[in-house]
Amino acid sequence: MKTPRSASPVSRRRFLGQLSAAAALLLAPRRGRALDAPPLSKKLGVALVGLGSYSTYQLGPALRLTKRCRLTGVVTGSRAKGRNWSRDYGFPEKNVFGYATMGEMAGNPDIDIVYVVTPNGLHAEHCIAAAKAGKHVICEKPMATSVADCDAIIGACRSAGVRLTVGYRLHYEPHHAEFARLAREKAFGPFMRMDGANGFEMDSSATAKTSWRLDKTLAGGGPLMDMGVYVVQAACMAKVEAAPDAVTARFGPVTRPEVFSEVEESIGWTMEFADGAVADCRATYAESVSNFRAQADHGWARLEDPAFYYEEPLLTTSLGPVRLPKVNHQVAQLDGMAMELQDGRPSIAPGEMGRRDVAIVEAIYAAAGNGRRVEVRV
């Protein structure tokens, strides 16, 4: 990689952006604390709901490294798994709950935040149960499989007076935060042409019966719901969190009908923004791909492959590569969200953002279904 120019104004802004991305979270002056903000001396207790792959290999290990929160409970369909987690992570066995008994978390002082990591189609049920138990909620992406479910989650959290955030780890990752800053400060002018893709090759032996990601009810859709949400996020980030006015879309070919009997194998879509900016995007279960590029009049920024995975993403601009600290995405997100809560600051990944993205996804599916341009209502 080339060494970035050190003295350019963008380098300085980049440094400040780096600060704003990571260190500012640490340095930010404490504003008024929310009424329900816990004392700072206490690490917030997190209960993970659904002990599958993401909980086991990313979130659980991250919660051993976090400074502001720690794992204090789980919700699982497997009592044996729950017992193992309680032993491995050192929390009491009474903090192992079943999906039907989430209400029993109410009044449990060990648990402040419930992090829902179940299949997409179950997020609403589990987030609502967590809110009713009086716990702050982190919901994995996509927030739900319909805008109606997003509204139900938001309503339940508002009624309970708890905070709702979406597990958008990349907002807490320095390269993506720098990309957001370049957009916000229009370092190269407003981004007007974007393109990006995200996907992986789905196992050929998987079916809707063996993998919830291929089951329309549990997944809500195919790669658009799972991987495309990241590209939607990046496009909105490039437009300073604006939603597109309208979308057009087309489903890709089905090359393995035995695998893709319920959800799409791939999909392409175009997002049209109010200022004339356009984003051409793709999500796929047919190939491994992960990138995003944004072009403005006076330069460009590119999140290199793998732009959206857990590895350190590489950000390159028309001025050269951008070097920023490598972080563990999940640690940065969990500590970032805990800190926002403790400081009484609004989250940078609130439930409303998750709802916006599901509204965009719904419009993309409608456009791919009818072949027409569909207005996005957020």
Sheet order of strands, 299-304 included: 320-322, 314-317, 299-304, 286-296, 193-201, 278-284, 266-272, 246-251, 374-375
* DSSP character at residue 55: I
**268 CB contacts (<8 Å, ≥6 apart)?**
249, 250, 252, 280, 281, 282
Stretch touching ligand NDP by CB under 6 A, among 1-9, 71-79, 270-278, 354-362: 71-79
Q: How far is the CB of 330 from ligand NDP (least distance, A)?
A: 8
186 noted as active-site residue:
no
Q: How far is the CB of 122 from ligand NDP (least distance, A)?
A: 6
**Chosen residue from 141, 175, 181, 282 binding ligand NDP by CB under 6 A:** 141
Nearest CB to ligand NDP, comparing residues 117 and 234: 117
**Chosen residue from 3, 53, 204, 205 binding ligand NDP by CB under 6 A:** 53
Distance between CA atoms of 262 and 266, rounded to whole angstroms?
A: 12
The verdict on 62 binding ligand NDP (CB under 6 A) reads no
The verdict on 120 binding ligand NDP (CB under 6 A) reads yes
Sign of CA dihedral 243, 249, 253, 254: positive
The verdict on 169 binding ligand NDP (CB under 6 A) reads yes
Distance between CA atoms of 317 and 312, rounded to whole angstroms?
A: 16
Residue 281's H or E segment, with its range, is: strand 278-284
- Read off the tokens for 133: 């138990």
The verdict on 83 binding ligand NDP (CB under 6 A) reads no
Nearest CB to ligand NDP, comparing residues 215 and 343: 215
Nearest CB to ligand NDP, comparing residues 85 and 191: 85
54 noted as active-site residue:
no
Distance between CA atoms of 162 and 145, rounded to whole angstroms?
A: 22
**Chosen residue from 8, 40, 77, 92 binding ligand NDP by CB under 6 A:** 77
The verdict on 81 binding ligand NDP (CB under 6 A) reads yes
**225 CB contacts (<8 Å, ≥6 apart)?**
120, 142, 145, 219, 263, 361
Q: How far is the CB of 332 from ligand NDP (least distance, A)?
A: 12
331 and 338 Cβ atoms separated by less than 8 Å: no
Active-site residue, from 115, 168, 172, 230: 230
Nearest CB to ligand NDP, comparing residues 77 and 325: 77
* Residue of 87, 52, 53, 90 lying closest to 71 (CA atoms): 90
The residue number whose beta carbon is nearest to ligand NDP equals 52
The verdict on 140 binding ligand NDP (CB under 6 A) reads yes
Q: How far is the CB of 78 from ligand NDP (least distance, A)?
A: 5
* Residue of 135, 196, 189 lying closest to 161 (CA atoms): 135
Q: Annotated catalytic sites, by residue?
A: 141, 230
Provide the binding-site residues for ligand NDP, judged by CB under 6 A.
Answer: 50-55, 76-78, 81, 117-120, 122, 140-141, 167, 169, 212, 218, 226
